[in-house]
């Protein structure tokens, strides 16, 4: 359903914070938050959200594969793991906190 919102509002998205309202209309039956940050970005920000996600991935990969001392790569890997966990489990973190 999140992808359907993205398809319907492809260029501009529905606007920040508006996707939970539309999920109720699109078949969830109640207002719900996105399960992942990726789907929230796509549905709320449209192509700009997609561009920002691709930019985020691209910059992260560029810095990861760049020649650096091992200590700096360790710190980047720790932050990268935290980034992946927080983006993939945004809904879970909202429930816990």
pLDDT tens digits, 53-86 = 888 888 878 877 777 777 777 887 888 788 777 7
- According to the model, what pLDDT value does residue 93 have? 54
Better pLDDT: 90 or 70: 70
Print burial letters for 29-49: b (CB count within 10 Å at least 16), e (below 16): eeeeebeebbbbbbbbbbeeb
Q: What is the CA radius of gyration of the chain?
A: 16
If we measure between CA atoms, which residue out of 11, 78, 7, 80 comes closest to residue 39?
Answer: 7
- Give the span between the Cα atoms of 93 and 82, in whole angstroms: 12
Tell me the average pLDDT across 26-48: 77
15 burial type by CB count under 10 A (0-12 exposed, 13-18 middle, 19+ buried): middle
Q: Determine the pLDDT at residue 94.
A: 56
């Amino acid at each position: 359903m999140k992808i359907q919102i993205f398809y319907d509002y492809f260029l501009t998205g529905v606007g920040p914070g508006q996707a939970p309202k539309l999920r109720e209309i699109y078949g969830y039956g109640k207002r719900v938050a996105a399960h992942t940050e990726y789907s929230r970005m796509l549905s709320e920000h449209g192509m700009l959200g997609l561009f920002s996600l691709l930019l985020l991935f691209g910059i992260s990969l560029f810095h990861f594969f760049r020649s650096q001392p091992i200590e700096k790569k360790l710190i980047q890997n720790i932050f990268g793991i935290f980034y992946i966990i927080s983006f993939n489990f945004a809904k879970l973190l909202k429930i816990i906190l």
